[in-house]
Amino acid sequence: MKVGFIGLGNMGSAIARNLIKAGHNLTVYNRTRSRAEPFASLGARIAETPSEAAADTEVLMTMLADDAAVEGVIFVPGNAIQALPAGAVHVSMSTISVALSRRLTEAHSERKQHHVAATVFGRPDVAAAGKLWVVAGGSSEPIERCQLLFEAIGQKIFAAGEEAHAANVIKLAGNFLITTVIESLAEAFAFGRKSGVDPHTFLDILTNSLFPGPVYQTYGNLIASDRFEPAGFKLPLGFKDNRLLLAAAEEATVPMPMASLIHDRFLAALALGLGESDWAAIARVSYDNAGLRKEVAR
């Protein structure tokens, strides 16, 4: 397929490489051109503007950091929505607000284009292996049209329903659940450490009995090792997702007290100077609260 791809950060670069490997014809754009240049040797064409990436494509895929970045490439005059052909599909893979997802659906519909929200679960190493879990929301016909693209990047594709924004709700809820796992692991490890239990022994027992899932294994290892750099998913991005969740929950009049607690954990971690760390570094707040940080650092 002819694909325009915008956003070549850690996740976007891994996804774009797998699409090229699968034989799709990519035109790539990134605000920092140096991130796009390596793709020329892989056979991709480098676009100079978002509109150039969107023009003459069957599918435009965006993988960007936040609402402002998506709005900047899609809605700013002269940008992608004006260049995307009628009938083409915009696959938004970014973790964005539910409100912006609805706006994208309306705006693309007005121009006889299609909007599919295809949010993903998985860290950059999972993306590089082509093993993401893809959650696709939107009308069935454009989703079916993009099936080969999703199969090139994911191990399983889930249908979220006819409303594109449902995929964004699921993504925000899923990320919220990950943060509650991180927080509960942090508190449990702080308790174990303070009681003289080796953290890796503790982790081995937990993940081979009650909690064998990949989230517990991945984040449990980071917390047990107190190793949050280099970041697979930077802490400020996790904080952004938490704020989006709380805003959507407020709009839906759904109290989420755990999400509010996690919000304060993110804020405390940023105050400790952990802005370049993995979002799992909120665990250091629990270590600090238990008086363990100097002990862990030794």
Distance CA 281, CA 77 (A): 39
Distance CA 292, CA 194 (A): 7
The Cα angle at residue 63 between residues 2 and 216, in degrees rounded to 5: 125
Active site annotation includes 234: no
The residues, any chain, with a CB within 8 Å of residue 83's CB and separated by 6 or more, are 50, 51, 52, 54, 55
Tokens coding 199: 């953290």
| Percent helix / strand / coil, the chain, rounded to 5 | 55, 15, 30
Distance CA 125, CA 131 (A): 9
Of these residues, 2, 131, 171, 234, which one is catalytic?
171
Q: Is 258 helix (H, G, I), strand (E, B) or coil?
A: helix
Distance CA 190, CA 288 (A): 9
List active site positions.
171
